[in-house]
Amino acid sequence: MLGKMVAAGELPPLGERLPEEPLVIEPIDQPGIFGGTWHFDVINRRDVNLVYHIVNPSFLRWDRDGIRTVPHLCRDYEVSPDGRVWTFYLRKGVKWSDGQPFSIEDVRFWYEDDAMNRDINPTPLHELRIGDVFGEFRIVDDHTFQVVFPDTNKGFYQRMPSILLYYAPSHYLRQFHTSYTDSADLEQRLDQVGVKKWSELYKRMNRWYDGYFNPDLPTLRPWILSKERSSPNTYVFIRNPYYWAVDTDGRQLPYIDSIMVHITSNEQVLAMKTIAGDFDFQWRRLDFKDYPLLKENEERHGYTLMTWPQDRGSDVTLYLDYTCTHPVVGPLLRERRFRIALSLAINREELNLLFYKYIGVPRQATAAEVTPFYRPEFARAYAEYDPEAANRLLDELGLTQRDKNGFRLSPEGEQFFMFIETSDLNKADLLQIVCEYWKAVGIKVEVRIVEGSLLTSRTQSSEIMIQARPLGSFNPPSALTRSDYVAPLFGLWYSTLGQQGEEPTPEFKRLNWLEVQRQKSGVEDEIMYYVQIYELYAENIWAIGLVGEVPALLARKNYFMNVPEKSLYSYVRGRRLQLTLPEQFWIDPTRKN
């Protein structure tokens, strides 16, 4: 593809596009062949951004174990002995997807004109925060910058591979920034886009995430969004001709020419397309309820069904909002005995049979066994099925009165019911069974399916009682931000330095302290703090686990090459695919039917 563009004079030769010090990626099995299109399906427009999660052009990336980091966009980095000063050395000659140089100015611009600008970011970025203090970026020379913290921060490596990239295409974004563009030009652009504030314009034009795309925004990713669309529900991403990585033979990556993402109507349609072999590598949204059909059709449709270990401590976790604002349910959720009763009322063995065919492990919401901080006693905490004990605890709380249908009334004699909210339609049947378990001990509860962005906004305002999400072992919720599921109003208090929200209880203050210490720690100390965090969860049951150790399901056509048989499938540590280095995937035309 790119060779033809060079021959036509539309693109500079390879030597002018590659950096002086490219990243070298060793193929998993063998060097690949250039070309081909990778097809996979998603279920909504927001999920199209999964292409951007395939490879994150961060300065550091997670190594294959998901525990340690290695240089990525930077060629090297150093940490001072006290953990306060992090020094990063840029690769020389890296270019943006539009051919413009990537430089230290892009780091300075992001820090001074974006991250620290209160019109763009009214709340300070938590990625730069340790306790109540913030790190400072300092430019050393044309290829070196430092991040300096007032206190030790040996755990900053955990933040560097995140979605936040710590740089921005300054040559492009200046035209939308009030510090670099005169007011008349800015007003004209505001009118064209239909927004009122320059900061809204800037954020919209800089948006690559959350389902809204600006195809003109330069990027350092291996595939870039094409302006051409074959249909309203299809997005095409093409090779970045200036991508800054090569294979061990010095050939520019990625091997695959394009990615075509199709938006299907729902999870069931996606599953049926996969079963029929209408994909190349389907790595998201496959559910275990479809496992028998997927396995049955492997040979017929020429694909391999893969199971990868996940870091999910519980495939579905019920997060109980400790700061829920409901006048009756809120006080109950703050009662530890009420939370324990809800957990004891659940028959996890039955859930494992009905929805996971005994592939999973009934357990509490805690770290997965694949992690070094897993403790079996935490997985067993209040996870047995004991409805009699659940009923006793509910009676002790004064919930002894019942209505004519047998549902418990509040201690004041009021009727109440609870909602479990989720954006995952695939889990509705499982959650409905959970509701039946709770109804059996007198708690009236219903499942509510909520669109993802609405679920987020309801979380942040603590309108939610209980929400169902996975538990990623590397990211147990704390109360540091308003988006943390277990106590959003405590998180709002913390993130606004006490100006809004509610002051946390002593238990949550300890949870936050442990989380801050974890974020400041090196690898070995981080493990110690994880253990203490999960010990608090086991004692307090702020979240209820159901079935864990459920592997991720992926399906790859037998011509889709260099995909490892096993890899840690983690959102927090590698956005699910990044540990496999997808730039080196390739399509073997000789194996296609």
Predicted local confidence at residue 328, as pLDDT: 96
Instruction: Judge whether 67 and 473 are in contact, CB under 8 Å.
Output: no
**430 backbone φψ class: left, alpha, beta (φ>0; ψ -120 to 50):** alpha
Q: What angle do CA 344, 346, 352 make, to 5 degrees?
A: 130
Do 36 and 103 lie in one domain? The reply is no
Q: Name the pLDDT band for 483 (thresholds 50, 70, 90).
A: confident
> pLDDT class for 119, splitting at 50, 70, 90?
very high
Tell me, yes or no, whether 188 lies in a domain: no
Helix (H) or strand (E) holding 557: strand 552-557
Q: What is the mean pLDDT of residues 273-283?
A: 96
CATH assignment of the domain containing 468: 3.10.105.10
Same domain, 48 and 93: no
Structure tokens at 407: 């549902």
User: What CA–CA distance (Å, rounded) separates 84 from 63?
Assistant: 23
The 10 Å Cβ neighbour count of residue 299 is 10
Q: How many other C-beta atoms can be found within 10 angstroms of the C-beta atom of residue 234?
A: 13
Q: Same structural domain for residues 487 and 372?
A: yes
Higher pLDDT, 479 or 197: 197
What mean pLDDT, rounded, does the chain reach? 93
For residues 452 and 540, state if they share a domain. yes
Residue 474 within a domain: yes
Same domain, 320 and 408: yes
pLDDT confidence bin for 158, thresholds 50/70/90: confident
pLDDT tens-digit series, residues 323-332 = 999 999 999 9
CATH number at residue 103: 3.90.76.10
Calpha distance 459→452 (Å, rounded): 11
**pLDDT for res 215:** 86
pLDDT digit string, tens, across residues 493-511: 988 889 999 999 999 999 9
Between 520 and 447, the more confident residue is 447
Query: pLDDT at position 322, please?
Result: 96
Query: What single letter denotes the amino acid at residue 515?
Result: E
pLDDT surpasses 50 at 276: yes
Q: Please give the pLDDT value at position 65.
A: 86
Comparing 46 with 378, which gets the higher pLDDT?
378
pLDDT at residue 548 is higher than 90? yes
The pLDDT-based confidence of 131 (bands split at 50, 70, 90) is: low
What percentage of the chain reaches a pLDDT higher than 70? 99
For position 208, what pLDDT does the model report? 67
The residue among 50, 20, 54, 101 whose CA lies nearest residue 254 is 54
Which residues, including other chains, have CB under 8 Å from residue 315's CB and lie 6 or more apart? 356, 360, 470, 546, 547, 548, 550
**Are 525 and 515 within 8 A, CB to CB?**
no
Query: Which residues, 6+ apart, have CB-to-CB distance to 26 below 8 Å?
Result: 247, 248, 584
Between 446 and 475, the higher pLDDT residue: 446
Whether residue 38 lies inside any domain: the answer is: yes
In a domain, 185, yes or no: no
Does residue 189 lie in a domain region?
A: no
Choose one of 210, 236, 263: the last residue of a domain: 210
- Answer yes or no: is pLDDT of 130 > 80: no
**567-576 confidence digits (pLDDT tens):** 999 988 888 9
541: left (phi over 0), alpha (psi -120 to 50) or beta: left
Tell me how far the alpha carbon of residue 447 is from its chain's centroid.
24
Residue whose structure tokens are 């959102």: 571
- Closest of 385, 420, 366, 367 to residue 541, by C-alpha: 366
Give tens-digit pLDDT for 374-410. 999 999 999 999 999 999 999 999 999 999 999 999 9
pTM of the model: 0.86
Is residue 212 very low, low, confident or very high in pLDDT (cuts 50, 70, 90)? low
> Per-residue confidence at 211, pLDDT binned at 50, 70, 90?
very low
Q: Which residue has the tokens 């090779």?
A: 239
Q: Is the pLDDT of residue 210 over 60?
A: no
Residue 180 covered by a domain: no
Handedness of CA 5, 7, 10, 12 (dihedral sign): positive
434, 507: one domain: yes
Instruction: Assign residue 59 a region (left: φ > 0; alpha: ψ between -120 and 50; beta: otherwise).
Output: alpha
Secondary structure (3-state) at 251 = coil
Cα dihedral 121/122/126/128 (nearest 10): 60
Residue 25 lies in a domain: yes
In a domain, 192, yes or no: no
Q: Same structural domain for residues 465 and 519? A: yes
- Overall domain count for the chain: 3
Domain region containing 104: 58-175+201-210
- 471 & 584 share domain: no
Backbone angles phi and psi of 314, in degrees to 5: -150, 130
CA distance 459 to 467: 9
